[in-house]
Structure 1
Amino acid sequence: MALATLAATLAVTRRVETSRRVETVRRIEAATRPDRDRAVDALRAIAILGVVLGHWLVTALVFDDGPVRGASPLQFLPALTPVSWIFQTLAVFFLVGGQVAAASWSRRTMTYEDWAARRLRRLFRPVLLVLAVWTVVGGFLLAAGSEPATVHTLVMLVLSPLWFLLVFAALTAATPLVVRLHPVVPLAVVAVVDLLRIELGAPAWVGWVNLAAGWLVPFALGARWQRMSRGSLWALAIGGAAATVVLVCWAGYPASMVGVPGAGFSNLAPPSLAAVTFGLAQCGFAGLLREPLGRLMRRPAWWAAVVVVNLFAMTIFLWHQTAMITTAVLARLAVGPLPGLHTSPDSPVWVVERLGWLPLFALVLLLICRAARRVRG
């Protein structure tokens, strides 16, 4: 009798939750403007989730006898390099950012100062909470006797992705100039800078010019994206891919599109010509996917999922490494060293083990997102 009552209660609970989800989907669909470009939102969600999954798959925290240290399976398993091609989606994010910023600028009803301040506040307000929390956490860990090297590893894991926001903010602020700029111009700058630093022995700091120029290419492309024909998109996709193959196979650029610890050269720090041509290929394929994605987003359930991801996009980006760290540290304290979570990523088995931890990372990230949203009000 008790089991029957429990089963009936669970069934009612499931029906209530299903009803709530259906009602939420209906409200989101009803609140969406008919002229909204849903494919752009879908691409932004894909780009954010690509970055998050990529970090979770190629970042390991190794707990051994010494300080906690970071490592990457790409150091030990070169066969995993294609993972970096799939999940390095920053170019798509800058592409969408350029398109949205240019559209917003064209529709503005305020001064440049007010427009820029409004957009930049959206970027940096959530960052303050991350900085505050990790200042407290870092201080607590040091006071509790953690090794400085351990604290440095954890803090840098969280803060190092923030470079992206600084570049994105600078390009957003420069939107009135970007809309007049052809993407070929920053592409040429990247090529010249690489020639100077790689072939002609220029000082290393010269390469950091590409931090702005490299990401300006997809951002400027986004500003004119809607005017591109399907043929131009195919040319961009195929040409970018072919140029990347040439640069990797015959010009000595690394095959990995993310940084690999211990490697002598990185395609991302600063962005190399290969990273930029790879990004151009991504932008071309993203443009070709725009119409199919737009049709898919007409399905209310899919659209609702994209809306939720975009609603939490900045929070997801800012806190995803914290979710991984929190899971690893709490599990270490509660259980001890666990495979795929605390061990060195030096075998294919580690990859399989890490895949098993991803749902828990996602659950912890969901809890953090909800808490962060409540704190910000």
Structure 2
Amino acid sequence: MGASASEIAAATPPARDRYVDLLRVVSLGTVIAGHWLMAAVSGDGIGNLLAIVPPLQVLTWALQVMPVFFFVGGFSHALSYRSLARKTDGPVYAVFLRARLQRLLRPTLVFVAVWTAGALAAQLLGAGGGRLSGAAFRLVTQPLWFIGIYLAMVAFTPPLLRLHERYGWAAFGALAGAAAAVDLLRFAGGVPYAEFLNFAFVWLAVHQLGFLRADGRIRRPGALAAAGLAGAIALVAYGPYPLSMVGMPGEKVSNMAPPTLALLAHGIWLVGAVELLRVPAAALLARPRVWHGVVAANGVAMTAFLWHLTAMLAVYAAQLALGIALPEPAAAAWWAQAPVRFLAAAALTCVLVGAFRRFEAPGVAGAPRPVSVPVPAGGSGPRAAAGITLCLFGVLGLSVTGLGGLLDGHSATLIALPVTAPAAIAMAIGGWLLVERSGTSRRVRLRG
């Protein structure tokens, strides 16, 4: 059974790095707020506010905080893998993958199942072909790219952690250098498909910074932030990179899809900046009420991330159903309605979190603890590797296909290959089952 947030907060060991938990919550919360701000819904469909008002794109230098989440992921993965290595009887890779995927994939697959059922029902009833509904079925799965990339980070943690332990900053430098080389091949050499390599090199470099933090090797965060910011400014000012650190509709070059060296520089400056706030944040997190709030938010953060666009779309749908006109995005009336829409979307997100949080943290909060605990034993590494590969391609496939036209064979291109939503769902489920069956454990009876 699960423990309540109060129990977890009270049992937190003094040595725990609470700031990492805060960064995880704040980064996902910032992404959610950014998505609510950027979604510009009108009678013509769903657009992007930053494309409508280009000067606002500078806000992405503060709102694009996914690098912070991946940085925190690197820190957590290093600690988790090392802890499992000390406790596991046999090969640790399969056990590590299974442990990291359980909390991530269960709520994701539930989200996909609910929306797939809705998309099928809408298509069978003839209600899925409108501009708004069609855009909604595409939009809700787009954030799943983040989960697909995170799965790749989990998969690559063991080998990259070994490289970190041997080479330290040089391992990060090699990944950053590879990202720069890919951009040279892309922009100077015109090599087709080379750019897609930076989905790995850019994000794994940010992830590698988390390993360095886990070993206390980020000792000059101010210099790191300054170097990253200067690099990002120079690349955008003098290179082929756009101002926005998120993708814009119709743009020839995106800093996000695929990631670029400019986005890596942006990530470096963000990592340095958040590390500069580490000491003052620690004093704040020592307060019991603040820490309790962080613990509670961490327990539902992934659920909130998955369902926040659903909540926003429901607010717009309710507005249309009530006959309230949708003003032109960025018009004065649109901005006037924005605070109300935000509050309504936040309230509805809380409702959805209450309904689906059980899949992120199974068990009844506050219930008695079990009298036995699992002790991990080695599992099948190759099976786990195959499973997580299927998972990440399935989730990434869903992020590009959306859930519209499920019965029409609608497909989209993932890197160079066409993929349909049903195939992507099958890959994700099949991969998860492979990982689940690759890791084993035995239970040991506790005394008392």
**What is the TM-score with the length of structure 1 in the denominator?**
0.86
Alpha carbons 1:230, 1:288 under 8 Å: kept:
no
State the secondary structure of the residue aligned to 2:190. coil
Matched, 1:139 2:128: no
Cα deviation, 1:193-231, whole Å, max 9, x if unaligned, reads: 11111122121x221111111110110110111444665
Between Structure 1 and Structure 2, the one with more strand by share is 2
Matched, 1:96 2:72: yes
**What is the TM-score with the length of structure 2 in the denominator?**
0.73
Structural mapping, 1:271-290, within 5 Å:
271-290=259-278
Matched, 1:61 2:41: yes
Gaps of 5+ in 2: 165-170, 364-448
Alpha carbons 2:43, 2:326 under 8 Å: kept:
no
Alpha carbons 1:75, 1:262 under 8 Å: kept:
no
The residue aligned with 2:142 is 160
Change (3 A) 1:229 1:349: farther
Alpha carbons 1:50, 1:86 under 8 Å: kept:
no
Amino acid at match of 1:135: T
The residue aligned with 1:210 is 198
2:231 is aligned, of 243, 247, 251, to: 243
The Cα shift of 1:152 comes to 3.4
Alpha carbons 2:221, 2:272 under 8 Å: kept:
yes
Number of corresponding residues: 345
Q: Report which stretch shifted further, 215-224 or 175-184.
A: 175-184
The residue aligned with 1:360 is 344
State the secondary structure of the residue aligned to 1:224. helix
Change (3 A) 1:197 1:352: farther
1:49 is aligned, of 8, 12, 29, to: 29
The residue aligned with 1:318 is 306
Gaps of 5+ in 1: 1-23
The Cα shift of 1:299 comes to 1.3
The Cα shift of 1:162 comes to 0.7
Change (3 A) 1:224 1:364: same
Rounded Cα–Cα distance in structure 1 between residues aligned with 2:198 and 2:237: 22
Amino acid at match of 2:221: L
Amino acid at match of 1:366: C
The Cα shift of 1:51 comes to 0.8
Rounded Cα–Cα distance in structure 1 between residues aligned with 2:316 and 2:357: 23
The residue aligned with 1:128 is 109
Amino acid at match of 2:33: L
The Cα shift of 1:249 comes to 0.9
Aligned-CA RMSD value = 2.0
Alpha carbons 2:21, 2:294 under 8 Å: kept:
yes
Runs of 4+ in 1 over 3 A off after TM superposition: 24-29, 149-152, 226-231, 346-349, 374-377
State the secondary structure of the residue aligned to 1:183. helix
Alpha carbons 1:26, 1:300 under 8 Å: kept:
no
